[in-house]
């Protein structure tokens, strides 16, 4: 018999509260979202996509929450300890080396190529942002950051290699846009207006945004963030 192994994935991040279900739309939509949640509670990585299909055609916040969570279940977040450990590491990490090690660990790897993994990470960030799930926006943003560097490098990189390749690809427009977009999403949901649930990452993101002149120029933000992760002593780098 299959155990309810993924329940903490929802409870830790308050993913499917009654408030969210109440905003899902009509009764039939709520039923579909509830069924999809129950499906994901017990799904293996290989079964996640089938659960997500239950909310096809539904555009509510609750449906996007299912899509967001489904991405992480597919990536192997079927053990309650894995996501709890990831959030703990995010809060405890300090400095460029610790930060890039955590970023590398969150890279998407479930698909067959680094290209598909990067595309999947982009979808995850979009879904989690639409769902307004603060914790998962942060995980998805870090996943997109790692996955775009892996895509450009053509292989899955360790923390040290990711740090080196951030210097290599800091001037690449694809990397700049992907990393900058992720930084803005993570900062807005976790670090702005007095919120600080992400340890030293908030200081790092604030530094990159300030140096870039605000949140509107995501390419400049991505360039600055990658520059600072690869060379913390560079001009304008704070918290790395």
CA 233 to CA 231: how far, in whole Å?
5
**Residue 114: pLDDT above 80?**
yes
| 106 and 216 both lie in a single domain | yes
| 114 and 182 both lie in a single domain | yes
Q: For 125-150, write each residue's pLDDT tens digit.
A: 999 999 998 889 999 999 999 999 99
| 92 and 194 both lie in a single domain | yes
Q: Of 30, 45, 74, which one is at a domain's C-terminal end?
A: 74
CA 228 to CA 180: how far, in whole Å?
13
**What's the confidence (pLDDT) of residue 57?**
94
CA 226 to CA 60: how far, in whole Å?
34
Cβ–Cβ under 8 Å, residues 18 and 33: no
**Residue 91: pLDDT above 90?**
no
Determine whether 1 is exposed, middle or buried from the number of CB atoms within 10 Å of its CB (0-12, 13-18, 19+): exposed
**What's the confidence (pLDDT) of residue 201?**
87
Q: Of 74, 97, 112, which one is at a domain's C-terminal end?
A: 74
**What's the confidence (pLDDT) of residue 135?**
85
Q: Is residue 238 part of a domain?
A: no
| 145 and 130 both lie in a single domain | yes
Q: Which domain holds residue 193?
A: 80-230
Q: Of 49, 74, 99, which one is at a domain's C-terminal end?
A: 74
Q: Is residue 236 part of a domain?
A: no
Average predicted confidence (pLDDT) for the chain: 85
**What's the confidence (pLDDT) of residue 73?**
93
Q: For 21-58, write each residue's pLDDT tens digit.
A: 545 556 588 889 989 988 998 899 999 999 999 999 99
Whole-structure pTM value: 0.86
């Amino acid at each position: 018999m299959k155990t309810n192994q993924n329940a903490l994935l929802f409870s830790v991040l308050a993913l499917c509260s009654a408030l969210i279900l109440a905003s899902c739309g009509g009764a039939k939509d709520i039923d579909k979202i509830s069924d999809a949640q129950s499906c994901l509670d017990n799904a293996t990585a290989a079964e996640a996509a089938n659960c997500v299909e239950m909310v096809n055609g539904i555009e509510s916040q609750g449906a996007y929450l299912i899509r967001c969570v489904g991405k992480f279940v597919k990536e192997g977040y079927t053990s309650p300890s894995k996501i709890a450990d990831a959030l703990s590491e995010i809060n405890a990490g300090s400095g460029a080396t610790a930060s890039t090690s955590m970023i590398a660990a969150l890279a998407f790897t479930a698909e067959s190529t680094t290209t598909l993994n990067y595309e999947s990470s982009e979808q995850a960030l979009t879904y989690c942002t639409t769902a307004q799930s603060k914790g998962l926006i942060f995980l998805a943003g870090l996943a997109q950051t790692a996955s775009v560097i892996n895509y450009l490098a053509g292989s899955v990189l360790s923390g040290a290699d990711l740090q080196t390749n951030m210097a290599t690809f800091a001037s690449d427009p694809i990397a700049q846009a992907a990393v900058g977009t992720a930084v803005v999403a993570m900062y807005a949901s976790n670090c702005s207006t007095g919120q600080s649930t992400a340890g030293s990452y908030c200081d790092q993101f604030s530094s990159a945004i300030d140096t870039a002149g605000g949140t509107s120029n995501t390419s400049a933000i991505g360039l600055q963030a990658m520059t600072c992760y690869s060379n913390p002593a560079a001009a304008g780098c704070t918290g790395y």
